[in-house]
Structure 1
Amino acid sequence: MAYKQLRVSRFSMIAFTLASSFSLVHAQGLSNSLNVETSWIGNSFGGANAPSGLYQVHVPDDIDTIYVDSAGNVYTNTTYDEAGETQAVFDPNGNLVAGPSDQGYNENGYAITANDNFIYYVNGGKVFASAAPKAGGSYDLAQSRSGSLVQTDVRGLAATDGTLYVSDNTNGQILIYSINQDGTLASNPASFSLSYPRGLALGSDGSLWIVEANDNSSSGAQVVHYDGSGNNLGDVINFDGSVALTGIAVDTSHMQSPDDLVLISDNGQDQDIKIYDVGNLTGSPTGYNSFGNVGGVYSNTKGQIAALKFKGLTGVGVDGSGNIYVSQNGGRDSVNNLDGNAFGAELEKYSPSGNQQWSRLGLEFVTRAGFDPGDDGQDVYDTWHHFNLNWQNNTPGSEWSYTGFTLDRFEFPSDSRLSAPNYTTWVRRINGNRILFTTGQYAGYLNIYKTNVDGDIATDSSTSYPAQGYYAIYPDANGGIWEAGTAQPSEYIIYTPSTGLDGNGNPTYGSTQSFNRPAPFSGSDGIIRRAQYDAGSDTLYLAGWNSSYPQPGPIGDDGPGQIYTAYPGWLANNGNVSPAWTIISEQDTSNYDWPESFSVAEKPDGTEGYLFLTFSGIHKIQVFSVIDGSAVGTITADPSLVGPSIQTSEGPSSGAIGNVDMPYGIDAFRRSNGEYVILNEEDNQAKNLLFRWVP
């Protein structure tokens, strides 16, 4: 009852608030810990409960290559993982059993291999060795890491117990090293010349199958065959320019054929694995078998996720039983650029007959997904991925399923998502049609996409919204666009109303309206950094700085500010509204503990609603009532499920929840049953946090 009374005053007393003082709330000491359910989306693992020897448990945000040993252990490498899990080892059941405890930001993660005793991998342009896993155990790769063994542009590795083969792309040669007992390499390796060497794989007879491909040529790659001493055996598999050859493996199990089988991962338009029988081969094979749906995720219903519908293949491997493993990262605009990163990582295991055994996903990196308001938050989209949430599931991490990949780089090669850094997604319904609005890590622009263009594919709307450079930019529930901030003319708040859709489903817009900045941002010292407008209650929410609460040096220009205000009746009164309340947030720059983003969710009749304020380094969400700005409490993630919130001068600790480091890193939504659900950026372990709260 109190909510209704307060809410009535919010509108009927606007004339009074214009002339009187407003409510000022100092957000210090929100000690009331709210009872929430902690969950997550986008990663197969929550990030906590690492087994002995491991510091973190998550699927990395990218996989550039894999190697699979005969037992079915999968070794992965990538150029970058926010938490430093640039190398990882998964056991035959898909459990993570090894990874480094230190942050290893690579310059080149295109090669990894192993023998019975050691793992060899590229990190930062250098080859290192770590102890190989032992059955049933887990361990830290950093603990046994050697010093640098090879320093060159390495694109492929293959190993026996006594020999390491290295693709030296810089000098156009294959290096052949003898392996010492401690895993180090003997000096003065043998070598043989080969232009543009890439991936390596060993046959059952010890011979080498080598990918030869020029990154700067579109004429196609080839696979050549040499013996272990570097003698050319004359066998060649040729590919035309439509094949983007990204990985190679040899099936020596002889489960499917009495001969060796060469497997090639093709990241071109076929999006499949090409399998060649090379038994008694002289010259070139005459044909191949395809593993996976030809066309990958774009076959049948486009964008629909299903087994054998690959997307962005980066590697392939085979174990001693003939099981096939495929790594993917969604692909990029160029067949030569394998760095998917924000597109996410996928690792799958299939039986020889094509039955999926397991799938491991690490889909989120500097991304914040958004709820679809048109179906009570059941569907969630980030810039590239479509998730479905089953709210009946209560086990943490079980609500989500990965249902769609919305980018088609082949049919729409100019899609702006291939070139622009789109990391934040808002889902809006305009005339019932689902429209995606996205912006980058530092905001400044909006890109607009139509969904379900063909299957689950989205594509650029013809509606153009130019980059203005505003940190405060926001699409409201009706598709109207709000801007404010540091770009000129910074003295204005700018609103561009939505007028619906044109005949092709593109949003249309009316004339821009400008408003003077209100108090407490109205002076020459006032800066607005965030804006959100609730169309149902006609309330504009702003955040920023002024001379009383100036921007501290450690907080960059993308920081939201320390002042948070609400202006009910904004459009009805043409912006001539004083704030109904003002919150002064806490901040501790010495401990990386300052606000980064906020999101507002309200009950449709305006009798209830909350502002959720998420912090940058120390991962927490402070909650305030939008009725009067009063503090409600604090949401923190359950560390036993998703890892602790531990911040250092170098960023989050290994295994910890990552920073919120984007202007709109949180999305809150009120479901029809009164439950508030919140998505929060967590790029350290390649996921989004999901919170469920009933007031």
Structure 2
Amino acid sequence: MKVSTRLAATLFVLGSLIPLGAAAQSQLTYTTSWIGNSFGFGDGKWMQQDIQAINVAPDGTVFTNSPWDESGSEIAAYKNGDKIAVAGATHGWGAAGGDAIASNQAYVYAAMSIGNQNNGLVGADYPPSGQTWFGITRRSLANIAVGVPFDSGIGNSANATKNSFLRVNAVATGTDAGIRGLAATDTELYASDTYGNQIVVFDANTMRRLRSWNVAAPGRIAIDTDSTIWLMSGFGTGSVSVLHYSSTGAPLAGTLALPAGTVPTDIAISPAGQILVADNGPKQQVLVYDRAASGATRLTGALGTLYGIFHEPKGTPGNWRFNGITGIGFDQAGNFYVAQNGEGPRPLASATVGQGAVLESYRYATRGFNWRLQGLTFVDSAAFDPATPNIVYTGSKRFMMDYAQPPGREGKYAGFTLNRFDFPDDPTFHQPRGVRGEPMVRRINGKPYLYTLDPGAHYLNVYRFDAAHDEVAIPSGLFAQNPLPGDWPVGQPTYGEWMWRDTNGDGHVDASEITGNPSTGSTVGNGFWWVDTPGNVWLATPASGIRETPLQGFDSADNPIYTYASSKTFPMPAPFNRIARIVYIAETDTMYVSGYTSSLPWDATHWKEAGRILVRYDNWSSSSPTPVYTIALPWNASSNPQITPVGVAVAGNYIFVSELYTPKVDVYDARSGQMVGYMTPGAAVGNTTGWVDVYLGISAVRRGNGEYVVLLEDDARAKILMYRWIP
């Protein structure tokens, strides 16, 4: 590895440069908007980030359930393309949603769990130390925020769902004993106790246990028009079948013959008595079975485009182009409903929240489209295509922008860039959270390349595009500051940095394609990656300076080539003793560095922050880079909430700094370092937003008309926050 010959001493201490503080701040004049969600929250609504199960009432109300929604919408209700209710009491204080939901004429029954937050919660409402409860919450159909108690009900003494939780399993914390299927009549409630390998039937009104029968790892349940039961068996095993039982548990003829490769995820009965099975395998369709007079079943068709969203053009969303089917159902008018999360049902013992929720309604008889709701982003930020500000990428989505549209309607979902069928070895699936986020888009020789970070910025993923895969980003390379935990990928070093390049072009990580860093043999940890416009990769190490790994061209598969041997290290620039973020503008050879100094030190409680100061350096790559100014970044660790910076973006003549816990973007003049003003969320998004909770959670661009567009992560309500500002 080559080391720059310039001396750290040439980067003189900035004692003569007075830090520019945040005094005399003023709020700018701008427009607040968003992309990625059907609702902005200005109307008090948001589309949840994940749907694991749905139940459709006769009147077309769709009840949803998932273990986690960042703002507490695990269990919700939707109707006619609108959100009409949030159940609550399934988020925080040990409570979480679940993976099944059902209703009858009086109640909604939903799977959920109650924990004790690492043994921090005690009392009758919570399980004892080291234990978690899994079971069913019963809510009023008229108001799902209100629990309907029963004699054996427990939990939630302090809210409106007191004593409305039925404990089914009490297990050691870390064990997944969740209910994976629910179905109800007005008199009986059927529950799949997947952990206990049984179907349990409860009295729908008293919630007393009536009977049970054994089924291996049962999943989703549907009650047929003749009161018989269809259910999935083998959940989590990789070999799922659909079985037929009487209401008392007697096996019946008519087990559905599933085509090879089918991954059944839900069952529904059409108004005409057909049996429908959602297939989350490669075909991404809903199978339709008819019944003869003899009771025999026969596969007669399928709903949806073959291969769903991955039918050509691959990754293009549209009507009947399904992507990760988690739930299906019908109303009494014959409308068909389908829920998707870009992934499929949550595996056992997994905390995944999917790849973005989509809830759709169609007219079953005519196949006409009714409505669609989307909650597409979580732990994700957004970036502009350098070719045009009219194209925005998130980690796994592409949006087309029309800035003439009203707030919340500028961005149209145009592409899903993650393909789990063609590229199951995508590093995304093996990194923390399994969600591809924090994008940087670069045009190199006119071609787009996508670079993404994991939430902790430990890994930089590289993706290319080609005509054969349309919207799909093809795994191309990977930079790792340290080995990934577990047994993936085979061939990674047991210690130290490493990189991968897909030399054979198959999108699979082969051991022979992995290279360790022979110069350091060390693990960086807590560094920050940046990719400049020409495609050179920069790594800001916390305490060892800044490393540049220049682009060395492209191989025969069109992968960018990087080598450790060509890397060069720039020493820690004064006055820093720890670097948190960098932004390098190659066109002007300008480096922006934020971090900490000996007088403004780093501490581990603020491990993800962007630092206490930001310095601009001109002529960075010369032997004598010039520090131009120092900005004192917003910082008050004693306030409530704390005021600390987390993200830095530079566009045109301005620097945009996002705060972590406070919904605020501070704007500085990039030429002088002077504070210009700030932006906070407007009424269109309810005057609030969630934390910017990742390292690269902000981006900005200057449009041709002089308008600046700033995009920020908003974990709280599954969207990207957008500010539009004309200086």
- The TM-score with structure 2 as length reference comes to 0.82
1:47 to 41, 47, 54: 41
- 1:372 Cα deviation from its structure 2 partner: 0.5
Q: Which amino acid aligns with 2:160?
A: Q
User: Aligned residue for 1:675?
Assistant: 707
**CA 1:552/1:586 → structure 2, altered by over 3 Å: closer, same or farther?**
farther
- 1:458 Cα deviation from its structure 2 partner: 1.0
User: Aligned residue for 1:118?
Assistant: 107
User: Aligned residue for 2:201?
Assistant: 176
User: Aligned residue for 2:84?
Assistant: 96
User: Aligned residue for 1:517?
Assistant: 572
**CA 1:636/1:108 → structure 2, altered by over 3 Å: closer, same or farther?**
closer
**CA 1:143/1:19 → structure 2, altered by over 3 Å: closer, same or farther?**
closer
* Cα RMSD (Å): 2.5
Q: Does residue 214 of structure 2 align to residue 201 of structure 1?
A: no
- 1:28 Cα deviation from its structure 2 partner: 3.1
CA distance in 1: counterparts of 2:374 and 2:608, whole angstroms: 30
**8 Å Cα contact 2:194/2:235 also seen in 1:** no
Q: Does residue 642 of structure 2 align to residue 593 of structure 1?
A: yes
**CA 1:96/1:370 → structure 2, altered by over 3 Å: closer, same or farther?**
farther
- 1:209 Cα deviation from its structure 2 partner: 1.3
Q: Does residue 187 of structure 2 align to residue 162 of structure 1?
A: yes
SS of aligned partner of 1:501: coil
SS of aligned partner of 2:253: strand
1:344 to 356, 360, 369: 356
CA distance in 2: counterparts of 1:290 and 1:145, whole angstroms: 44
CA distance in 1: counterparts of 2:391 and 2:526, whole angstroms: 29
- 1:483 Cα deviation from its structure 2 partner: 1.3
CA distance in 2: counterparts of 1:338 and 1:235, whole angstroms: 33
* Post-superposition CA distance 1:596-626 (Å, at most 9, x none): 43333343xxxxx111110011110000111
CA distance in 2: counterparts of 1:119 and 1:458, whole angstroms: 41
CA distance in 1: counterparts of 2:90 and 2:180, whole angstroms: 23
User: Aligned residue for 1:491?
Assistant: 544
- The TM-score with structure 1 as length reference comes to 0.86
- 1:568 Cα deviation from its structure 2 partner: 1.0
**8 Å Cα contact 1:333/1:418 also seen in 2:** no
**CA 1:287/1:64 → structure 2, altered by over 3 Å: closer, same or farther?**
same
- 1:560 Cα deviation from its structure 2 partner: 1.5
Q: Which amino acid aligns with 2:584?
A: Y
- 1:385 Cα deviation from its structure 2 partner: 0.9
1:28 to 22, 25, 29: 22
User: Aligned residue for 1:564?
Assistant: 614
**CA 1:140/1:677 → structure 2, altered by over 3 Å: closer, same or farther?**
farther
- 1:527 Cα deviation from its structure 2 partner: 0.5
* Post-superposition CA distance 1:445-465 (Å, at most 9, x none): 211001245111111115766
User: Aligned residue for 1:614?
Assistant: 658
1:473 to 529, 547, 550: 529
**8 Å Cα contact 1:461/1:506 also seen in 2:** yes
Deviates most, 382-391 or 104-113: 104-113
CA distance in 2: counterparts of 1:76 and 1:665, whole angstroms: 29
User: Aligned residue for 1:131?
Assistant: 140
User: Aligned residue for 1:54?
Assistant: none
**8 Å Cα contact 1:317/1:326 also seen in 2:** yes
Q: Does residue 595 of structure 2 align to residue 544 of structure 1?
A: yes
Q: Does residue 297 of structure 2 align to residue 246 of structure 1?
A: no
SS of aligned partner of 1:418: helix
**8 Å Cα contact 2:614/2:631 also seen in 1:** yes
* Post-superposition CA distance 1:101-141 (Å, at most 9, x none): 6625766721100111111001112211111136xxx9667
- 1:340 Cα deviation from its structure 2 partner: 5.3
Q: How does 1:172-571 map to 2 (within 5 A)?
A: 172-180=197-205, 184-186=206-208, 188-216=209-237, 218=238, 220-239=239-258, 242-251=261-270, 253-254=271-272, 260-278=273-291, 280-283=293-296, 285-331=297-343, 341-352=353-364, 353-375=366-388, 377-393=389-405, 395-421=406-432, 422-453=436-467, 454-462=469-477, 466=498, 468-486=524-542, 490-509=543-562, 511-521=566-576, 526-552=577-603, 554-555=605-606, 557-571=607-621
CA distance in 2: counterparts of 1:20 and 1:618, whole angstroms: 29
SS of aligned partner of 1:371: strand
* Post-superposition CA distance 1:480-514 (Å, at most 9, x none): 1111223xxx3221112224434432223472121
2:691 to 633, 640, 659: 659
**8 Å Cα contact 2:635/2:645 also seen in 1:** no
CA distance in 2: counterparts of 1:336 and 1:19, whole angstroms: 54
User: Aligned residue for 1:65?
Assistant: 53
**CA 1:690/1:588 → structure 2, altered by over 3 Å: closer, same or farther?**
same
Q: Which amino acid aligns with 2:223?
A: L
**CA 1:232/1:171 → structure 2, altered by over 3 Å: closer, same or farther?**
same
* Post-superposition CA distance 1:58-111 (Å, at most 9, x none): 111111111111111101111211112111110134333333266257667211
- 1:232 Cα deviation from its structure 2 partner: 2.6
**CA 1:634/1:357 → structure 2, altered by over 3 Å: closer, same or farther?**
same
Q: Does residue 164 of structure 2 align to residue 109 of structure 1?
A: no
* Percent identity (aligned): 32
CA distance in 2: counterparts of 1:139 and 1:107, whole angstroms: 14
- 1:148 Cα deviation from its structure 2 partner: 1.9
**CA 1:16/1:480 → structure 2, altered by over 3 Å: closer, same or farther?**
closer
CA distance in 1: counterparts of 2:294 and 2:230, whole angstroms: 13
**CA 1:342/1:248 → structure 2, altered by over 3 Å: closer, same or farther?**
closer
CA distance in 1: counterparts of 2:42 and 2:56, whole angstroms: 26
- 1:423 Cα deviation from its structure 2 partner: 2.0
CA distance in 1: counterparts of 2:52 and 2:351, whole angstroms: 7
Q: Which amino acid aligns with 1:458?
A: A
**8 Å Cα contact 2:337/2:359 also seen in 1:** yes
- 1:582 Cα deviation from its structure 2 partner: 0.5
**8 Å Cα contact 2:101/2:108 also seen in 1:** yes
Q: Which amino acid aligns with 2:443?
A: R
Unaligned residue ranges in structure 1 (runs of 5+): 1-14, 51-56, 255-259, 604-608, 646-656
2:717 to 677, 685, 690: 685
Q: Does residue 165 of structure 2 align to residue 143 of structure 1?
A: no
- 1:471 Cα deviation from its structure 2 partner: 2.6
**8 Å Cα contact 1:384/1:405 also seen in 2:** yes
SS of aligned partner of 2:428: helix
**8 Å Cα contact 2:184/2:204 also seen in 1:** no
1:85 to 69, 73, 77: 73
How many positions carry a matched residue from both structures? 630
**8 Å Cα contact 1:348/1:359 also seen in 2:** yes
CA distance in 1: counterparts of 2:635 and 2:440, whole angstroms: 27
CA distance in 2: counterparts of 1:332 and 1:471, whole angstroms: 33
**8 Å Cα contact 1:342/1:363 also seen in 2:** no
SS of aligned partner of 2:309: helix
- 1:641 Cα deviation from its structure 2 partner: 1.6
SS of aligned partner of 2:378: coil
User: Aligned residue for 1:606?
Assistant: none
CA distance in 2: counterparts of 1:597 and 1:143, whole angstroms: 37
**CA 1:403/1:185 → structure 2, altered by over 3 Å: closer, same or farther?**
same
- 1:564 Cα deviation from its structure 2 partner: 0.7
CA distance in 1: counterparts of 2:655 and 2:354, whole angstroms: 28
SS of aligned partner of 1:316: strand
User: Aligned residue for 1:643?
Assistant: 686
